[in-house]
Every structure is written in C-alpha cells, then in structure tokens.
Amino acid sequence: MAVDLGTANTLVYVRGKGIVLDEPSVVAINTKDGRPLAVGVEAKRMIGRTPSNIQAIRPLKDGVIADFEICEKMLRYFIHKVHQSKFSKPRMIICVPSGITGVEQRAVQEAAEYAGARKPAYIIEEPMAAAIGAGLPIHEPTGNMVVDIGGGTTEVAVISLGGIVTSRSIRIGGDELDEAIISFVKKEYNLALGERTAEEIKMALGSAFPLEEELQAEIRGRDLITGLPKTILISTQEIRKAIEEPIAAIVDAVKVTLDATPPELSADIMEQGIVLTGGGAMLTGLERRIQSETGMPIVVAKNPLQCVAIGSGQCLEEFDALKQVLISASSR
C-alpha cells in the first residue's frame, strides 16, 4: 500500500484497488486516557468544537510529523481500515516533502513500521510522486516541472531521467492561506474566525488573480469588541488581499527553481508547461497568476488532490521499474 501522509489529508492507495481511503489527517483523543475517539472525517468535524476532555489534534505540521504517538495511532487506524488480515504486514511506500531532514524522515519510517508496515518502509519524495501521478514522462531525458501545493508545504521540482534536478520546498501551503484569512478578518473587522470557517471561505472566495466578476459572501464569527456572534459581508478582492503574501511566496519559489534550472531543461519546460498538483492547485486563478509572473504555460493536473497518492501507488504496481525513485531505510 502507498500512503500520502499529508498535513491536511491522508490518502491510502492499495495495490490492485486504487485509492481506497481519503480522509483528513485529524485525530480526536480523550485527554484523560489518551485514547483516540475518532479519526479522519469525524475528527475534523470536531475541530474547534470540543469540550475540555476531548482534543482534536492534527499530528502533522508543515508536512512533517509534529506529534509522533498520535501520528502512529492515526496510521495504524488507516492501515487496519484498509488491510484486514491481522498477520501479514503490507509493503508500504510513504510520501514525504523533498526538503525533509534525515531525522524527520526517520520519524516517518518509524511511525509506519510501528503502525504495522513491513520493514523496510519505503519513502518517495512528494514532487516525484506527484509527477508520476500527473502522468509526466519522468524517465525521459526531458525537463518536467511540478508544483505541488499541499496543506503544509509547497514543493517545486524539476525532474528528468527519474531524478530530481532542482527542487525547493517551502513550508507554506493551504494552512498558511487559512491563517492569513483569519488574521486579515481579525485586523480589518475585529472578528474572530475558526479554522474550519477560514477554510470554507478560502474554497468559496479565494482567488490569486483578479476575477471577471467579483463575488461577496456573508461570513460569521465572534466580534472581538462585544464578544457576541456577528455576520459581515466580505468580497473576493479582500480575500485576495488577505492571501497575497503566501501566494507571492509560492510564486517566488517557482521563480527561484526556474532560475536554478539548466537551460536545456528550461527549454523543455517552456514547451511542456509547469504542472500544478495538490489542493492548492484548485485555488481560482492561481494558474493565471503563475503564468503572468513567469510567462510559462501552466497545466493543472486532472485530479490534483490525488496525484501524489496515485503516483506512489504506481510505484507499487510497477515496483521493479520505479524502484530507483524510492528511498528505503537501508539505502541511507
């Protein structure tokens, strides 16, 4: 099985079946005895709505493990959910950000092995998996450029001959956009928003490029002056202003990577275009924004949310052919 262990969502791909599980990376635990009460969709509904004895935790922050034990419990739950037999341990491939340190990588492998994966757990870098999942010809001697915008990280990589030529990994993703919206609304309107509301606003109103028709919507939160619930009207222009900074950082990462790309590969990318994957690729107008700033053609992958999981799953299906793109514990 292949696991795309994401900051926002975790996807599991089982050989021969495709993607069998796609749930938010959230665990709700009982603080008295540390037992997990709910994992995934149920736990996500609890964020910001829990009593004192229940805590909804996101065990991954910025693409890496922030809470080891809880991450292991979450993985174990997901593995049991899709892998019924108790005795055999599944061979496992896990996706990690490309800018990850050795220690963080070790943590991911150990969490997987404790949760019941067959040793050694294999690791694949996310941009590589995203490129395979988006159907790019990674083994050809041509330049393929992938921008994978996840919940915690944005990965930009140029891939040729089955390896990463240059890459950038910045810890800015969908979560940063949510935080930017929360702080903007707090500053401009003295209104406190929850994480969930901010995420809904981002999906409904977020844009990275001026729209032909600007929209408005009502948002609800708590007024910081009176302490009472309050509804305000907010427009797409304001949300665009709110998320300007993280978006600019993502565009910069793309530019820096292009700057470090050998000229032959740059020419290939100019022809093929830059492929956007990950949940951030679904932000309205992002492709137009990157296109206007870099002058490159931009392609959004077919199902951007699942690219990484599909790519790592293809490594399972054609294990021997794609083995060289994996990193196993013994190879370090």
One domain, residues 166 and 182: no
One domain, residues 179 and 282: no
**pLDDT score for 328:** 65
One domain, residues 20 and 101: yes
Token pair recorded at residue 123: 């690791």
Is the pLDDT reported for residue 79 higher than 50? yes
**pLDDT score for 329:** 55
**pLDDT score for 293:** 93
Q: Is 119 helix (H, G, I), strand (E, B) or coil?
A: coil
- Cβ pair 90, 61 in contact under 8 A: no
One domain, residues 111 and 34: yes
Asked which of 244, 264, 293 is the last residue of a domain, the reply is: 244
Residue 270 and residue 253: Cα distance in Å, rounded? 17
pLDDT in tens, 116-149: 888 888 889 889 999 999 999 988 899 999 999 9
| 313: Cβ contacts below 8 Å, ≥ 6 apart | 2, 13, 14, 15, 18, 19, 133
Expressed as residue numbers, the domain containing 204 is: 174-244
One domain, residues 8 and 123: yes
pLDDT in tens, 279-311: 999 999 999 999 999 999 999 998 999 999 999
At position 292, the amino acid (one-letter code) is S
pLDDT in tens, 152-208: 889 999 999 988 999 999 989 999 999 999 999 999 999 999 888 999 999 999 999
Please report, for the domain that includes residue 199, its CATH number: 3.90.640.10
The pTM of the full predicted model, rounded to 2 decimals, is: 0.88
One domain, residues 86 and 231: no
Asked whether the bond before 120 is cis by omega within 30 degrees of 0, the reply is yes
Is the pLDDT reported for residue 332 higher than 50? no
pLDDT in tens, 30-64: 988 888 899 999 998 888 888 989 988 889 888 88
| Torsion angle of C-alpha atoms 136, 256, 296, 173, degrees rounded to 10 | 70
Is the pLDDT reported for residue 331 higher than 50? no
Structural domain count of the chain:
3
**pLDDT score for 267:** 93
One domain, residues 100 and 195: no
Mean pLDDT in residue range 250-260: 94
Is the pLDDT reported for residue 274 higher than 90? yes
Asked which of 244, 264, 286 is the last residue of a domain, the reply is: 244
One domain, residues 257 and 278: yes
Please report, for the domain that includes residue 82, its CATH number: 3.30.420.40
One domain, residues 326 and 179: no
One domain, residues 84 and 44: yes
Token pair recorded at residue 111: 């969490």
Token pair recorded at residue 130: 């995203």
One domain, residues 51 and 168: no
**pLDDT score for 252:** 94
Q: Which helix (H) or strand (E) holds 256?
A: helix 244-259
One domain, residues 16 and 38: yes
Report the share of the chain in percent with pLDDT over 70. Answer: 98
Asked which of 216, 244, 272 is the last residue of a domain, the reply is: 244
